[in-house]
Structure 1
Amino acid sequence: SLMKMGMELEAARSVNEKLLFVKVHMPWDVLCTYAEVLHIKLPIQPNDLSTTSSPFNFLSCITRHFYPSEDLIAKETEYFTAPFEKDRLEYFYVKDRDLFFTPSMRSRMAYYILSRAPYEVRGNIKKFGVTKLLDGGVYKAAYPLHDCRFNVRSKEEECPNERYLLYNEWAHPKSFYKMQPLDLIRKYYGEKIGIYFAWLGFYTAMLALAAIVGLGCFIYGYTTQETSTWSKEVCDPLIGGNIVMCPQCDKECTYWRLNSTCESSKVSNLYTLVPILVLVTVFLEFWKRYQAELEYEWDTVEFLEQEEQPRPEYEAKCNHERINPVTRVKEKVPYTACGRCIRVSLGIGTVLFWIVLILASVVAIIVYRLAVFFSFSTRLQSDLKELEPFKEYVTAQMATSVTASVISFVVIMVLNILYERVAIWITDFELPRTKTDYENSLTLKMFLFQFVNYYSSCFYIAFAKGKVVGYPGQPVYLLGKYRNEECDPGGCLIELTTQLTVIMGGKAIWNNIQEVLWMKNLIFRYCTRVGSEKVIPRWEQDYQLQPIGKLGLFYEYLEMVIQFGFVTLFVASFPLAPVLALVNNLFEIRVDAWKIITQFRRMVPEKAQDIGAWQPILQGVAILAVASNAMIIAFTSDMIPRLVYYWSFSVYPYGEHSSHTMQGYINNTLSVFDIQDFSNKISLSYFRYRDFRYPPGHHRQYEYSIYYWHVIAAKMAFIIVVEHIVYLTKFVLSYVIPDVPYTVREQIKREKYLSQVILHETNLKLVTKRLKPVGDKILKHNEDKEEEIMDLYF
């Protein structure tokens, strides 16, 4: 069948004669035919539009060192392109037939033929496609060949050595500081791989800006922690040392002095990160603009997606018939409408069950926190005079928080491994028709699960922990047994930072361990055969490499999107998150490049306009990040109560003017509880607790004070103002800065005009030229008739 379709085949035995390789060649005529079938855009003439010079050209003497060497990777010549038409070959810019079609184009056309060539016909049943033969074990593998060894330049002059160039200028550790050669990546691997690395590089650049802002906020907070008034008051033995706080659990917990939280109060200083929130929201807007440039440069602006063939797993179970709503022809389907509903319902039910399982694990960890803190508290001394600094209390809180975070991380990783298999099984059970449908379905399931798995504990600490605890006389109990968990004495912000550090850092370490172990195994395999590689032909060397896998870049995208969530959703509590993500991504780009060039077989190139289903997911996370960070600043930190106190309750007169101060803030934010209202009596008359309630003796004792409602109003106003500022900024920038740059729009118009003139109007002139003699005869005939009529008239 392949030979009937015009391909040339060549067989070759392996070195050990255990395998037979079939090499597929694409003649020129076949390439031209399928280039037209696939609507591949090819050059019609060089780009004649003048490019605007960058205002930063004066820095080229510095920036050129951060780009791949132009002596090795020459800048691609820009061309105006048009969909290829075989009959108009003379109008295309064919400088060299061997270089007219790029390797990725050749591979894509070859795979198109291989996936449609029939191999068995029995009556009305027709089997086709190399994918089925691979699944059935008839063939071991099918892959395009690399052009040369990655670490040795080919001695053949006609070999382009693109793999060697990519390794040296992109994947090699010595090139870690250089920009990515995206055009060469796209040329060698296709648009789908190119767009992934373009997005990863753009995201990393955004992280660099966010890291600068986050690092600046962290440094400012660290340098001012010793000078903040509330920290001084907490640490002052005459102020915080004389404030006795109520126990945080029943019976076994003891009283403690406020100055025991001195260190945690210093690191709880938070400064608003609105610049990062704005950067997050406009990141995707600028990515759309950059993506539009890539779409034009890589000829995917008018990309016509070919109708995807059904997956072999789908076709294998096609036992029912239905009328196709488009063609009105009978076709085979694997299930009826009722069967599809059952499959989808079972899939949704399974996903919901696993999400409930995650929430149950979060509740179990909360119970663990309460039990461990209670266990620590029973070992503490109860004599208040012997516990002046009471550092043991802080140790108990910190130990509980750290161990709970580690356990949470272990549970997350275990559930993640189990659910990954469940998600693949569910998606296989649903039987999506095409590969794109399969990837989109799996993407939604995996992200929804991992979103709840990774972020649920963080959301609990940020928005639920310590919010509903009642007051010492009437505490709130969880499950009717456990007294509801309160925040660390320094606030829940520290615990949220600890949780993020453990999960985010642990995930990065675990991924790097997997990478190292995986690469160590492959390096060992490579070293055992490197001596004989000179006599092994290229196709056999590539067979010994790893296959890319059916899901391709799915796991790479998933890892980065989860990281994007950590960086954006909780950046207000952990300003160093962009810094850690930036360092990780700088290694991630080079490790991914190293793997794809040295350890993987060459992938079948695929067209892609964008990053697919991940783009709306990122947009949803970016929108949620604005509300999440605004709420963290408002409800988890102490910034709003401090501002309310500073502007409303702390005006002290100085002569003719008044001045705002933070003195007295700590005393103002702690409520009083009468010890006589407590069952266990001690020598103290009262103790304090974190809340805004009226003191005992007031006609509304232990009810929320007016200060509490002022703070609530200020928090809600802050959330509304911040959200509106960020969203308004995003709207204004998206309106002012169009998705498609002006120069790209002009180039697209110019390209369409040239395509119309060169390809279509030329044909119109030929048709007019052929019809001109016929038109002249008709005109002459009409003139003769007119003369006869005039003669008769006269």
Structure 2
Amino acid sequence: MGDPDVLEMVQEEERRAGSEERFFEVSEQDLSSRESSFLISEEPRFKKDEQSKDSIFFRDGIRQIDFVLSYVDDIKKEAELKAERRKEFEQNLRKTGLELEIEDKMNSEDGKTYFVKIHAPWEVLVTYAEVLGIKMPIKESDIPRADKIPFSCMLGPLKLPRNVKHPHAEYFTAQFTRHRQELFLIEDESSFFPSSSRNRIVYYILSRCPFGIEDGKKRFGIERLLNSHTYSSAFPLHDGQYWKPSEPPNPVNERYTLCQNWARFSYFYKEQPFNLIRDYYGEKIGIYFVFLGFYTEMLFFAAIVGLACFIYGLLSMHDNSSSTEICDPEIGGQIIMCPLCDVMCDYWRLNSTCLASKFSHLFDNESTVFFAIFMGIWVTLFLEFWKQRQARLEYEWDLVDFEEEQQQLQLRPEFEAMCTHRKINAVTKEMEPYLPLCSRIPWYFLSGATVTLWMSLVIACMVAVIVYRLSVFATFASFMESEASLKHVRSFLTPQITTSLTGSCLNFIVILILNFFYERISAWITKMEIPRTHQEYESSLTLKMFLFQFVNFYSSCFYVAFFKGKFVGYPGKYTYLFNVWRSEECDPGGCLVELTTQLTIIMTGKQVFGNIKEAIYPFVLNWWRRRKARTNSEKLYSRWEQDHDLETFGSLGLFYEYLETVIQFGFVTLFVASFPLAPLLALLNNIIEIRVDAWKLTTQYRRPVAAKAHSIGVWQDILYGMAVLSVATNAFIVAFTSDMIPRLVYYYAYSKNAIQPMKGYVNNSLSIFLIADFPNHTVPSEKRDFTTCRYRDYRNPPDHEDKYFHSMQYWHVLAAKMTFIIIMEHVVFLMKFLLAWMIPDVPKDVVERIKREKLMTVKILHDFELNKLKENLRMNSSDFAKHLIIQENKVHLAKSAT
């Protein structure tokens, strides 16, 4: 090589080194000047005609708005403190790399709200994507989608367009890292991270950004600033309007796509676009709608069987021997029943309950046992198939290893702020905040005492409702029991039914009132426990709320099913509540009708009230808020202002959706033997619920911050517990609340008619009481010429040596009931365990797909690192050779010069 070439090579090497030094100097100066310019003054106000009201960009039209903060001027004493907090907070946000743009209140339509728009540049996104362990695509997957199902051609009308159901191709993914950016499929930096990941990253920064030191402790987190009203709101922007697609330069409006294909009520029969929901709202909201959709699909089969059982009861109503005998004037019309209350109530004829006995047969017939066993198997299949669906979802949404990430990364800011101790994490081997158990024990005691107190309050309210029913029963009876009742058939509204209807409605109102207050108390107590992670917080709150809701909604049903009419006593020796009110009796046909009434009113009332509240409440609030905001109509009603005027979904919005679904699941499973139409009502409600939830999320609520979840969490354990409990409750309902077992005992042991085995059952089920044995304080005020009356029980007649003691038939029936419970529980549990063993938690094809993806990911990473190593070695060897040549030529030039 000649001297000119050597000189040119040396000069090129020096120029390159100098340019690199100048690059870093300029970068540091640019960052410093840009930061100082932000701190000194804000950018000038935008002009109205230069920006579209649907724009989701900064004023430059290039940087996308990832998050918005808002606040108003405070005229109170804390105004200066709040302004100082905001200034410090925003300065620290800029130091993390976020870019801020502030809109003055003069530019807002209400003339008083400031908006802080936040943009996360590429450097921030890649940094925190690595911190959060976000998985991004590295190669298009070669595994075909598992969309083919049997009879899929028949389900064509239920399907969504492919571009809506699968908006993106399938990819092999890996946790993002800045040092391997070349590995990932980055075509456009502005669209590489989906908007849900961008707002999740920004919120992560906001929740950990400090805003000052107060009382010797470092304060940080947007949640604290929101609680202190330093900022009035913090939210990510929707993509655009929900009623029209976006126009360039805005990106594709996924909100509009969701509204058109998911939130429309005319699409109630369509499948849901789960992948699009996940991309827009995040995995946590996405998995809720997957669960709700799967639960609704499974309800379809239970609803069909329940409807078939109801139709069977309807068709066999007129052939029912029990109601035929009750309605017969020569049988039921000749049976004089004992009074239903003391003194004020008169005797009455059995045929006055004719309509009630026919209605009871709708739900208390031979199909009741079959349906109870079927639902025990159905709930097992539902939970086992949901395990499989959840495992498939974890694979499809890259959530297989999410649990470890949650434990390591998602510490609650409140936990970090309150902890003064630190210890080494056994997993990460890093120092982290730690709260000693002794600091939590007082709050745990307070929490347990509060939950116990409120559950006791629920029991007290239920007792109060029982007292109400006992108090008004005599009043109803005095109006409805008259001389006519001994001659004519009464209407369907017997004293029992009338009192049951009014008592159920009153109980439902009490339930709503208690829920309203307890929700706020339980949230405050859970916060005081200082849970470590968001998952622990939700699990603790879930346990408190569910225990209360379980007692609140089901206590009255448990009372009617297992206690009412079981401790009545008999005429002349009735059991009294508080020595004042006589215990409630069941209808001669049993308490199943009343349980059905109670269940129908509470379940239907809760569902109707919930849907009305979810649909109308945010709609009215948003309308009123928009009306108040539109004071300066000449101003630009911008994208961030439109979203600001929407209702907030809140961190517990999804919690209440799950709670509502699980409580409904309890109605469907725990007491379904008394009401086979419960799955049908739940199915109809859920079809509406899915579209109502979709509509309110896309149109009436601000966009929630995206969050990850790999399962439905603690709700799954609750569902398993309720499934086990439902087997026992339905067995006891059939045995003790239904009239099925006494009829079977009579059919096989006491019937004397071979042609019509059930003939005479009604007379056999009623005991005889001698009116002369009535105590003076219980005998009816009006004297009758009857010598005996009848009551429902199995006791010896007055002429027996052990009069009014339980007869042998009573013990036979009781033994049959206990035998039935044992057999039914063992059969159902055996089938449950057998099905659980046969159905794998993770489908075989999903296991193979996971193995395939892990293998391909490792291979891709290995090839990438190997190629990178070879390139580095080649570059290093080339650079080393160049360096030797340069050094030799320098020596040669030096010798030549001397």
**Under a length normalisation based on structure 2, what TM-score does the superposition of the two structures give?**
0.79
* Residue in structure 2 matched with residue 668 of structure 1 by the alignment: 764
1:400 positional shift: 1.4
Find out whether 1:556 has 2:657 as its counterpart.
yes
- CA separation of 1:117/1:236 partners in 2, compared to 1, >3 Å: closer, same or farther? same
Q: Which amino acid aligns with 2:444?
A: V
Counterpart-to-counterpart distance in 2, 1:105 and 1:347:
36
Deviations 1:660-700 (A, max 9, x none): 72112112211222334335685333322111122233343
2:825 match: 723
Q: Aligned to 2:162, what secondary structure does the other structure show?
A: coil
How do 1:79-90 and structure 2 match up within 5 A?
Answer: 79-90=171-182
Matched, 1:163 2:163: no
Determine if the alignment matches structure 1 residue 744 to structure 2 residue 846: yes
Report the equivalent of 1:253.
345
Tell me which amino acid in the other structure corresponds to 2:101. E
Which residue of structure 2 aligns with residue 695 of structure 1?
Answer: 797
Q: Tell me the equivalent position of 2:138.
A: 44
Give the whole-Å Cα distance in 1 for the aligned partners of 2:624 and 2:518: 32
Q: Cα–Cα, structure 1 residues 55 and 381, in superposed 2: closer, same or farther, change >3 Å?
A: closer
Structure 1 residue 352: Cα displacement: 1.4
Partners of 2:561 and 2:733 within 8 A in 1: yes
Contact map agreement 2:647 2:702 (CA 8 A) in 1: yes
- 1:8 aligns with 99
Aligned counterpart, 2:304? 212
Deviation for aligned residue 1:158 = 5.4
Equivalent residue for 1:151, pick from 214, 239, 243? 243
Moved more, 757-766 or 681-690: 757-766
Contact conserved, 1:47 with 1:80, CA < 8 A, in 2? yes
Provide, for residues 281-327 of structure 1, a one-character-per-residue CA deviation record: whole Å limited to 9, x for no partner: 32121111111111111110111215456655556656x65767859
Q: Report the CA distance between 1:211 and its aligned residue.
A: 1.6
SS of aligned partner of 2:729:
helix
Partner of 2:733: 632
Is 1:678 aligned to residue 779 of structure 2?
A: no
Q: Which residue of 1 aligns with 2:452?
A: 352
- Give me the TM-score of the superposition, normalised by structure 1: 0.89
Unaligned runs of 5+ in 1: 654-658, 773-794
Please say if residues 412 and 534 of structure 2, whose CA atoms lie closer than 8 Å, have aligned partners that are also in contact: yes
Q: In 2 relative to 1, CA 222–532 (structure 1 residues): closer, same or farther, beyond 3 Å?
A: farther
* AA in 1 matched with 2:269: Y
Whether the 8 Å CA contact 1:533–1:541 is kept in 2: the answer is no
> CA offset at residue 492 of structure 1?
0.7
RMSD after superposition: 3.1
Give the secondary-structure state (helix, strand or coil) at the position aligned to 1:391: coil
**C-alpha separation between the residues in 2 aligned to 1:324 and 1:49?**
42
Q: Report the counterpart of residue 25 of structure 1 in structure 2.
A: 119
Taking every aligned residue pair, what percent have the same amino acid on both sides? 52
Asked whether the 8 Å contact 1:504–1:566 carries over to 2, the reply is yes
Compute the displacement of 1:95 (Å): 4.5
Question: Are residue 590 (structure 1) and residue 686 (structure 2) matched?
Answer: no
**99 and 635 in structure 1: CA distance in 2 versus 1, 3 angstrom threshold:** same
What is the DSSP-based 3-state SS (H/G/I as helix, E as strand, rest coil) of the residue aligned with 1:203? helix
Extract unaligned runs of 5+ from structure 2: 1-91, 875-898
Rounded Cα–Cα distance in structure 1 between residues aligned with 2:112 and 2:628: 19
CA distance in 2, matches of 1:770, 1:329: 33
1:705 aligns with 2:807: yes
The letter of the residue matching 2:252 is P
Counterpart of 2:715 in structure 1 is: 614
Instruction: Return the alpha-carbon distance in structure 2 between the equivalents of residues 695 and 370 of structure 1.
Output: 28
Q: 2:461 aligns with which of 342, 361, 370?
A: 361
Q: CA deviation at 1:76?
A: 3.3
Q: Call closer, same or farther: CA 1:725–1:526 in 2, change over 3 Å.
A: farther
Write the deviation string for residues 85-138 of structure 1: whole angstroms up to 9, x where unpaired.
333333334454444322212222222223233444699854433333333434
CA shift, 1:456, in A, is 0.8
8 Å contact from structure 1 (residues 260, 394) kept in 2: no
Contact kept, 8 Å, 1:38 with 1:306, in 2: the verdict is no
| 1:784 alignment partner in structure 2 | none
Aligned to 1:263: 355
Contact 2:618 2:700 survives alignment (8 Å): no
Distance 2:145 2:540 in 1: 42
Correspondence for 1:783: none
Deviations 1:342-370 (A, max 9, x none): 22212222221221121112222222222
Residue 600 of structure 2 corresponds to which residue in structure 1?
Answer: 501
Q: 1:54 aligns with which of 148, 156, 168?
A: 148
Separation in structure 2 between the aligned mates of residue 47 and residue 731 of structure 1, nearest angstrom = 37
User: In the alignment, does 2:118 pair up with 1:34?
Assistant: no
Range with greater deviation from structure 2 (515-524 or 159-168) = 515-524
Give the Cα–Cα distance (whole angstroms) in 1 for the partners of residues 840 and 634 of structure 2.
52
Larger Rg: 2
**What's the secondary structure of 2:674's corresponding residue?**
coil
1:294-693 aligned at under 5 Å gives the runs 294-303=393-402, 304-305=405-406, 307=408, 311=412, 337-379=437-479, 383=483, 387-389=486-488, 391=490, 395-514=494-613, 515-523=615-623, 525-526=625-626, 535-650=636-751, 652=753, 661-679=757-775, 682-693=784-795
Q: Please list the CA deviations of residues 464-517 of structure 1 after superposition, one character each: whole Å capped at 9, or x if unmatched.
A: 000011222422222223222111233211111111222222223322442324
1:77 is aligned to 2:77: no
Which residue identity lines up with residue 110 of structure 1 in the other structure? Answer: V
User: What's the secondary structure of 2:271's corresponding residue?
Assistant: coil
Equivalent-residue separation in structure 1 for 2:731 and 2:582 (angstroms) = 29
* AA of the residue aligned to 2:538: E
Distance 1:33 1:595 in 2: 34
CA contact (8 A) 1:380 1:392 kept: no
Letter in 2 for 1:620: G
Mapped to 1, the partners of 2:658 and 2:149 lie a distance apart of 34
Question: 2:125 corresponds to which letter in structure 1?
Answer: L
Tell me the CA shift for residue 643 of structure 1.
Answer: 1.6
CA distance in 1, matches of 2:601, 2:570: 31
Instruction: Report the residue type matching 2:638 in the other structure.
Output: P
Structure 1: how far apart are the matches of 2:391 and 2:462? Answer: 42
CA 1:158–1:517 in 2, change beyond 3 Å: closer, same or farther?
A: closer
Cα distance in 1 for residues equivalent to 2:639 and 2:510: 45
Distance of aligned partners of 1:108 and 1:674 in 2 relative to their CA distance in 1, 3 Å threshold: same
1:275 corresponds, among 374, 385, 390, to 374
Quote the offset at 1:771 in angstroms.
10
Counterpart contact for 2:473–2:499, Cα < 8 Å: yes
Q: What is the CA-CA distance between 1:457 and the residue it aligns to? A: 0.9
